[in-house]
Structure formats: structure tokens, C-alpha cells
Structure 1
Amino acid sequence: MRRTLAPALLLSALLGAPHTPAAASESSYSPYAAIARPSRLLWGDTHLHTSFSTDAFGFGVRLNPDTAYRFAMGEVVTSSWGQRVRLARPLDFMVIADHAESLGIMQRVQDGDSALLRDDAAANWNRMLHGTPAQQAEFSAYFRDGQQRRAIFRKLTGLATPDLQLDIWRELLSTGERHNRPGQFTALFGYEWTAAPQGNNLHRVVLFRDGAER
């Protein structure tokens, strides 16, 4: 009994000791809690794909960045499947986060970029995209087959020269700046980094805080 009495008395003394609230101390536990923050709720999209993403293009998306921005700002646009559509409420901000790898290359193939169409595969895709409904359906079927889809990605990555990718990236920046409306609509810049080691999805959306001038 004597062995447990002293610890018991010590515990009782500790429990009964005066308690000093953390708020009363000079150092603050959370120095940012009292800082005023904007309280306006904004609505936006930080992960939008357009026809500049190869996978989105392969699965039927035909809306380019310009059309995507107009849609986000509340304009009526024609969807990839032919319907006239409009958001019930315009967005306050948006990030077009197309895949960095082979960015915009398939769109350029469809547009008939002469340098790209020197490649036999690219020229064939261009003919299919502008061909009969059956040929267009055949093109789309490529993307439902994993092996063929990977082969297309490898081909497009090979066609994506640094100069061409820089030209497409600058086109994206220019389009965003054209639609940016300070205080009304913010066009944020970004892209999706598409890593998939051993088939694991490690995709990450990268956002920039600066404008096109940086």
C-alpha cells in the first residue's frame, strides 16, 4: 500500500494544480488563425481537358481551349456531340490541365499541319478524322484498345518536337490571356503531368501562380 500512496498523492496534486490556458501564454499556438481571409465563395474547375489532350481527343472531345473558356464563362457552345449547351452558372476561374505529353499534337494532325502529315501514320489519322463515319469510328476504336492506344501515344511523343510543343504551349497561354477578365473570370495556367510507372496512376495537375509573361 505504501508503494502506491506516493504516486497517488503526486497524481492528485497534478490534477489539482492550477491550469494556465494556452491562450494566456505569450506565444500563439496558431499565429494565422486571427488573420482576416477573403470569405467570398468562388466556383471553378482545376482539371479540365480539351482536344489538346491526346486521350480526351481519342475519346471524342473536339472542344479546343478557346471554346472551353467561352463555355466556362457562360456562353452557349456546341458540344463535341452536337448539342447546344451552356452552364447554369458561369465559373469564376478555370485551369485547362491538358496532358503535357504530346500536348496538342493530335489536334494539329486533324488541322492538317503540313510538317506532321509528312509522317505516314499522322497522314492516315488525318484522312480517317475527315473521312466517313465508319472511318471516324475506326479511329475512335484505336483508343479503346490499350495496345493500340499506347502505340499512338509513342508515335505522337516522337512527333512532338521541342519547337512544336513550345508553339502549342504559347498558343494555350495566349488563349488564356485573351479570356482572362480580372475580377470577373480568372484563366489560370497549368497542365497535367502524366506519370504512370508500371501502370500506376501518378498523374498530377501543376498550377502556375503567374501569368503568361512569366
Structure 2
Amino acid sequence: MTGASPLRPDEAALREAIVHTAREMERLGINQGTSGNVSARCADGLLITPSGVPATALHEDAIVWLPLDVAADAPVLSERKPSSEWRMHRDILRARPELNAVVHTHSVAATAMAIHSRDIPAHHYMVAVAGGNSIRCAPYATFGSQALSDYAVAALQERYACLLAHHGVIAASATLSRALWIANEVEVLAKQYLLASQLGTPPLLSDDEMAEVLEKFRNYGMRGTSGNGAH
């Protein structure tokens, strides 16, 4: 098996969209250098950014296709090097068939909270964009490990984003554009929380208040595939 995916009408556009997403992550300041990675569901597999290539040098042909059932000893992993975090992307897409795109960043404010293994609590109603009344922080495990992937999948249960302790952020959605938007929103929320914390422990919205917001978001299409705002 090679690193190229089966022929698919929209694959060229999907590869282009992955490159664009990686570059947008850097432009937005939520990623830098060779950190972070992007994937999208493609046929019976996924397309994922390669290992060790900065966004500025990324091109469509460098994007690696992997089958969703890829194993750690599969030849495809040595033929073309996918991101070291391919396990997380594979496992999230396998566990969540409604999701088609995964974005992983090392954004500064959100990672600062992750260093303290802190969830982002309901200090602002937009926390609901991640699907619940908090943005969970997964326990620490070595990057690229199966343990890290398992922790990420668990933290993402009924959620669209989570933090990774001492590491960064995962955001997932039905489209690349929405996954990118969620990842950026997580960073904005982390900045808000850290700034508000300078005035003392931030007051939080109640579970009932957040449940009302989540219901409104469902009505506004916030769980859908398009639209980047709550209003």
C-alpha cells in the first residue's frame, strides 16, 4: 500500500483545504513551526499533514493518506511519514463517524491552561461551542503514543474540543473550516479566562444556564457544518 489515497473526485480539493488550514493556523497565531497537525476523512481513510514540515513549506502532494484501520507496523507509515500524532486523528475519526476533520494546535493560552491540567470552565457562554459546559483537559501522555490518543478520545466524548495536558488543543468537526474555527475559539476562551483570573477566581455560568445556551446553539445550527458565529 502506498501513501496515496484511492482516486476520489474531491481529493485534490481536500488536500488543498488541509494545506490552507495548516497555513491559517499559523496566520491566526494558534500554531507555529512544525508543531500541530491537520487531518480530514477521505474515502475509507484519512488525509493528514506530514511529519516535520512547517506550514509555510507544505504542499498538496506532501499530504499523506492512511486507511482508518492502519496499524502501527503498517508499511504505509514508513513509505511516507505522517504526523507523529496520526493515532489521535485515526482514533477520533473512527470513534466519531459524524466528524470529518481534526485540527491539533499548540496555541499559547490554551496550552498554558493545559500545562496546569485545567479544564476551561463555563466563564463565558461560548464555551458551549465545544459541546458542553466545559472544555476538558485530557491527562498527559507522551506525544504520538496510543495512551495520548486514548485520553484524547475520552476527553472528546460528547465534545468537539479538548485540551491535552502539557501539550495543546484538539478540535474536531464536520468540516475543516469549522474545526479550525473551534480551535481558534478555544484559544480566545483561554485568553479570556486567564485575563479574568487576574481579578480573582472568575464567576461561572451554572449548568442550567449552559444547558440553555447549548439548546439555543442547536437551534442556531451551532452543531452543524457551517456558520462560525453564535448569533
Q: TM-score range by the shorter chain?
A: under 0.3
Larger Rg: 1
- The TM-score, its normalising length taken from structure 2, stands at 0.25
- The TM-score, its normalising length taken from structure 1, stands at 0.26
